[in-house]
Amino acid sequence: MNFFEPKPKTNFDLIVDIPGSKSITNRALILSALSGETIFLKNILLSDDTIYMIEALKQLGNTIDLNENEKTLKITGNKNPKFENLNLYVGNAGTAMRFLASYLATGSGNAILYGNNRMNDRPIKDLVDSLSELGVQIRYLEKYGYPPIEIQASGVKCPVVEIDGSKSSQYISSILMAAPYFEESITIKFIGKIVSKPYIDMTLSMMKDFGAIFKKDNRSVLISPSLYKIESYTIEGDMSSASYFLAMALISNSKITLNNFFKHSIQGDSKFLDVLVKMGLKILNFSETSITVKGIEDYSGISLSMNDIPDVAQTLAAVALFATSPTKVWDVENMRIKETDRISALKNEILKLNGIFLESQDGFEIIPKSVSEYVGTTLETYDDHRMAMSLSLIGLKVPNIKILDPQCVSKTFPNFFNEFSKIYREDLK
């Protein structure tokens, strides 16, 4: 399938099972590997990013038994791994690249971490600088500050390290998760403006569940040597993946039930629900693990910093096209170093629609038009799963939309377009 062609559709009912969280799955895999214990993971996500992580961990001596039908995984971790001349390929999986770097630092040996061409354009210098400060020897193999990198590890013994979190919170999460397996207590200090801070909070919450011992304040965490030890861990539904169906309900004035949507989620992107509620989305029912929402005929735009939730800014852009007033987003400059430069990509595609998109360095403003003023066209996805999923929502209102290369959603939500297409099945009966 080279393109997906959504058709205009409103006022429908839909039930969707949200897949497990990519962010939580990859964190749980790293924490389990570090533990050296046998841990049972439930509701895992199987997607490109998590499969790259699983395969790399197998190469590093972790024993992994996967049940794809049950979405469960049993992992016997290999703490303080020993490795020699390993080549670990992670595609365009940022979490795998960054988290594996610190996992390797707890062991001994040499390994190369590398990815696809886009990964080689995504900066890693801030993480490398911090790992180097910890005594890990790291060499850039091509371009300074970017993958691929070669790591020579012999364990970590260092009382303090600084990490710049202004480009990605994943640098901080990477070292946080590995720190209990360093040789002595360490204070991890955050410098710079931290983006996506809720992901750091999520990392610390999971570390606590797995048994880590630490003390934290706003700008640092003191972590003592401790052991991760837990029998099983259930992975929440992915709130980033849920965002598309919450947005679908509002755009199409429809009723949608999302299963595997955790009411007390540890994911920052759960805040996107609050954003849409402010715009007009109605919550009809909210249980511990599911939610039912309903859109409205006309809804307003919104202005906000999305520094905490940049991964759902594209979803909001699709919603904004059909609002009754402008939407302005700022504090999301790190969107430019994701799978693609997402701000520029949004501008390119929304202008094709005859939309109004005002670009700034750290955000954008969308001034909506009436649906009849938009032009149906073929939209590029830039090999970016979030571009594909968010742009597909436009087709609920605008005819003749085609989404190119829809298979790129396999990065986090392989079944997305099957779930999307459920809204048309009533028409085929």
Catalytic residues: 311
**CB neighbours of 96 closer than 8 A, spacing ≥ 6?**
26, 49, 52, 53, 56, 90
Other residues' Cβ atoms within 10 Å of the Cβ of residue 420: 24
Residues constituting the chain: 429
Residue 137: beta bridge partners? 152
Write the DSSP assignment of 83-110 as a string of letters: EEEEEEE-TT-HHHHHHHHHHHHTSEEE
CA distances 346 to 169, 273, 287, 314, 386, Å, are 23, 22, 34, 7, 11
What span, in angstroms and rounded, lies between the C-alpha atoms of 63 and 418?
32
Contact 148, 121 (CB under 8 A): no
- Give the containing element (helix H, strand E) for 67: strand 63-67
Strand ranges (DSSP E) for 159-224?
Answer: 160-164, 186-191, 213-216, 220-224
How does DSSP classify residue 375?
-
Question: Phi and psi of 129, rounded to 5°?
Answer: -60, -45
**Using an 8 Å Cβ cutoff, are 353 and 378 in contact?**
no
**Number of other CB atoms surrounding residue 316 within 10 Å:** 25
Q: Which residue has the tokens 């959603």?
A: 409
The answer to whether 362 and 307 have CB atoms below 8 angstroms apart is no
**Buried residues in 17-45 as b, exposed as e (16+ CB within 10 A):** ebbbbbbbbbbbbbbbbbbbbebebebbb
Quote the tokens at residue 205.
Answer: 């919450």
What are the tokens at 354? 């005859």
Q: Answer for the pair 354, 374: CB distance below 8 angstroms, yes or no.
A: yes
Q: Which residues pair with 249 in a beta bridge?
A: none
